[in-house]
Amino acid sequence: MKIAKHLNTKMKIILILLGVVFIAFVVIQIFAFKSQSNIETYSYVIKKKYSTFEIRNYKETLFTSVKLSTSGYKNSSSKGFSILAGYIFGGNERKEKISMTTPVAMTLEDSITMMFMVPKDLKKEMLPKPNQSNIEFKKEPAKTVAAISFKGWANDKKIDKYKQKLKVALDAEGIAYTNRFYFLGYNAPYEVFNRKNEIIVELQ
């Protein structure tokens, strides 16, 4: 009887803990969903839609950026995010917080550059000096790109898969493109649902 009672108590504790974890998870996801709707986005105009991709126009936009010595999404994403998030969360000479924007952009090259868009109401001369000297302010010129989307969690294999898929689709349509490919990630690491990722490439 004592053993059964002990097991019953233990089971109740486990169920309570699981309930607390589940509630915390739901609260975090609701918070993430609401926060996402209030975040400023790197806006664009759709020029033409195809079955698997679309052509977009972006205006000239200012970014904070950091060039990384590592290659590949897995090795670079957490390091680059940590550096740039540190800056916008107060790692600067004025200890000033800057609003988060979306998406996080990464160049798909041998040496990766990660970029956060600067909120549109801020000019370069208004931004505080970063504490880390490897952070730079970079103006991305107006551009026309092709974009392909995919869901879920990004990794090197998926990024390469959709990069190749975009190239095949562009070749099939006879659309000329450059070698300037980017990965765009729209979600915070703790978001589980409705994850959105894109591969874009600048057109010639």
Please report, in tens digits, the pLDDT of each residue of the chain (204 residues total). Answer: 556 666 677 777 887 877 776 665 455 545 555 555 679 999 999 999 999 999 999 999 999 999 998 878 988 998 999 999 999 999 999 999 999 999 999 999 888 999 999 999 999 999 999 999 999 999 999 999 999 999 999 999 999 999 999 999 999 999 999 999 999 999 987 787 789 999 999 999
Q: Which CATH superfamily is domain 42-203 in?
A: Regulatory factor, effector binding domain (3.20.80.10)
- Residues with Cβ within 8 Å of residue 70, at least 6 apart in sequence: 76, 79, 111, 112
d(CA 104, CA 114): 7
Question: What tokens were used for 202?
Answer: 């600048």
What is the reported pLDDT for 50?
98
What is the reported pLDDT for 38?
76
Residues 186, 102 contacting (CB under 8 angstroms): yes
Residue 121 DSSP SS3? coil
Question: Measured in Å, how far apart are the chain's first and last C-alpha atoms?
Answer: 78
Judged by phi (left if over 0) then psi (alpha if -120 to 50, else beta), residue 174 lies in left
What is the reported pLDDT for 29?
47
**Measured in whole angstroms, how far is the alpha carbon of residue 178 from the centre of its chain?**
22
What is the reported pLDDT for 60?
97
Residues 183, 158 contacting (CB under 8 angstroms): no
Question: What tokens were used for 34?
Answer: 């609401």
